[in-house]
Structure formats: C-alpha cells, structure tokens
C-alpha cells in the first residue's frame, strides 16, 4: 500500500512538518463551509487501497474540528481507502471521561464511538487526559506521552537543582517518571476543584525551597489553576518556577495570565497551534512532528512501536 498523509484544517503547520520528515508531500484536499456553517471536505487525490494518515487535532474550535475530522474519515472510507489512520495529537472532550454528578454525559466515550463508527481503523494521540480513555475505543490506540520532550529539554540545558511539581495528585505518576529521567525530587500541589475550570490551591507538599521548580501538566485551558500553582510554589521558596504542559488550549486571557505569572518560562508541545495573538515572550513550543513521523513510518511498514514507547527510558534524540 502507498502511504499518504492528509491534513485537516486544524493544524496544517504540524502536518507539513510531519510530511517533510517522511519525505513526502501532503495529499491535497478541499475544505470549506457552506453558507449555513456545514462542513464540506473532498479528497483531491486517488486514495483507493492506500494507507492514509489523517492529521487533525480536535482543538478549538473543537466542534468544527471534530466534525471536519469525521466527514474527512467518511470521505476516505467512501473512496475505498486501504486503511484510515487518525493522528489527533490533541483529542477534545477527553476531560469528560466519567460521570461526576447525575445526568451528565461521558463525552469522551461518545467521541471515541463517533471516530470508530465513522470508519477509522487506528488512532494515535499525545497525552490523553486519562490513560483509561484508550479503552473507550474499539480500534487500536497508540498513546504517546509528552513529558519526555520536557525532560530532554531540561537535560540538554544541564540545569541543576530541579524539583518536578505535579499540579494535582492525579499528575504525580507522570511527574515521578519525569523526575526519574532528570534524577530530581518531586512535590505536588494539594488543590480542590470547586467547578469546571476552577480550582483552589491549598498547599505545596514537598521541598521546593531554593530549587528550580518545574510544574508539569497535560493541558492549560484558562490558565487560572496553573498560574495559582506557580505563585504558591514561588511563595514556598522556589528560586525559579517553570511551567510545562503538553496542550496549549489557552482560552480567553490565559496567555496574559501566563506572561504575568511567577513562572519565568512556559513550555508547550505543538499538538495545538498557538495563534500569533496568543504568543507571549515566556511561551515556547517544542515539536512532536518527528515523533509522529517515526510512528507513521513504523505503522506503515508494519514495525513495532515499542522503541517509541520506551524512548523516555533513554531520552532518544527527538
């Protein structure tokens, strides 16, 4: 089967980087909106029998990008494609992964069903909000994590006196793994979530005094929680605070909150594009394009992804 890479409209810059690493050009598509807002997608190159990789993060505007992903899968399916591999570096709706109160949806499961029913044969993503979301899909899922990128970044800088901070108890596992890579101690933030997008920092658990604190998270949306955590860590005696997060949703004035926060540096992966008007001096993006390209090549050639999943143990060149 011939390999083809198709880009949705959500993040064409990342798709072009991936295609460049693979040494191919993106297959052309036509994407447009009808007058009533409905999405139209047409694949402009023959794909019959081919191994197609569709790159489309489900990022803001989430609903538009999700529908575009689904109709593109349908267009490929009806064109008798060989295999449809969905590459969604950020998958929206994954924070709604369980019922917290009665009569609310488990939207992560619904989205998983939609992608499967639309016709996808495989999906891979980076830092799903919870690992168990892989089980929501009835197709193979390849799940990559983001913290090795940040560990590699700090290792190259040869920074001494680091402490890795989990912004909540649920993030302790990833913080511990990153800390192991960097041979650094860990601490965590004790917080209480009062409502959606709102939480209260209660305490910093662990020794941070005199250290360079690195707060590790998967998503920054409104920026309120993470900046409050940075302030709490700084007030607890850290000599410097850095923030790392895989996905830069950055709703509302989140960019300004980060710029005005106690953090001296904010690192993201490029799973989501950051608009120019939301870029700030403190913000920097590290690219996942090479990892995605390696994964695509291995999947196409029927090779194991094991080396890519164990890369954090040896900080492979990214």
pLDDT along the chain (318 residues), means of 10: 96 98 97 96 97 98 98 98 98 93 95 97 94 94 94 92 92 93 93 60 87 97 94 95 98 97 98 97 97 95 80 46
Q: Answer whether residue 318 is part of any domain.
A: no
Q: Answer whether residue 171 is part of any domain.
A: yes
pLDDT at 198: 59
Q: Answer whether residue 50 is part of any domain.
A: yes
Q: Residues 102, 221: one domain?
A: no
pLDDT at 217: 96
**Nearest to 10, CA basis, from 52, 65, 53:** 65
Q: Residues 177, 218: one domain?
A: yes
**Nearest to 164, CA basis, from 130, 220, 203, 211:** 211
Q: Which residues are catalytic?
A: 191
User: CA torsion, points 76, 78, 83, 86, in degrees to nearest 10?
Assistant: 40
**Nearest to 167, CA basis, from 266, 245, 89, 240:** 245
pLDDT at 202: 65
Q: Residues 205, 258: one domain?
A: yes
pLDDT at 200: 64
Q: Residues 11, 130: one domain?
A: yes
Q: Residues 171, 59: one domain?
A: no
Q: Residues 68, 113: one domain?
A: yes
Q: Answer whether residue 309 is part of any domain.
A: yes
Total structural domains within the chain: 2
Q: What is the CATH number of the domain that holds 151?
A: 3.40.50.2020
Q: Which domain holds residue 11?
A: 3-144+289-313
Q: Answer whether residue 157 is part of any domain.
A: yes
């Amino acid at each position: 089967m011939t390999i083809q890479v198709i880009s949705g409209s959500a993040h064409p810059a990342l798709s072009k980087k991936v295609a460049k690493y693979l040494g191919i050009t993106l297959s052309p598509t036509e994407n447009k909106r009808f007058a009533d807002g409905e999405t139209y997608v047409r694949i402009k190159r023959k794909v019959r029998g081919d191994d197609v990789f569709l790159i489309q993060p489900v990022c803001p505007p989430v609903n538009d990008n999700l529908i575009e992903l689904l109709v593109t899968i349908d267009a490929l399916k009806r064109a008798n494609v060989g295999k449809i591999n969905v590459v969604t570096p950020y998958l929206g709706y994954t924070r709604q992964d369980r019922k917290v109160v009665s009569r609310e949806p488990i939207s992560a499961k619904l989205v998983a069903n939609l992608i499967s029913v639309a016709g996808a044969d495989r999906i891979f993503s980076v830092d799903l909000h919870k690992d168990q979301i892989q089980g929501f899909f009835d197709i193979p899922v390849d799940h990559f994590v983001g913290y090795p990128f940040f560990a590699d970044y700090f290792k190259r800088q040869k920074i001494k006196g680091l402490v890795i901070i989990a912004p909540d108890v649920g993030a302790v596992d990833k913080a511990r793994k990153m800390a192991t890579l960097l041979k650094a101690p860990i601490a965590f933030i004790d917080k209480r979530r009062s409502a959606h997008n709102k939480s209260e920092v209660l305490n910093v658990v662990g020794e941070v005094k005199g250290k360079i604190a690195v707060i590790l998270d998967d998503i920054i949306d409104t920026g309120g929680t993470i900046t409050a955590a940075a302030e709490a860590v700084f007030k607890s005696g850290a000599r410097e605070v850095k923030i790392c997060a895989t996905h830069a949703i950055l709703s509302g004035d989140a960019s300004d909150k980060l710029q005005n926060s106690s953090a001296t540096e904010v690192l993201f992966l490029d799973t989501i594009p950051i608009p120019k008007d939301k870029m700030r001096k403190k913000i920097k993006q590290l690219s996942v394009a090479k990892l995605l390209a390696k994964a695509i090549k291995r999947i196409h050639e029927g090779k194991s992804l094991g080396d890519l999943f164990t890369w954090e143990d040896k900080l492979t060149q990214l």
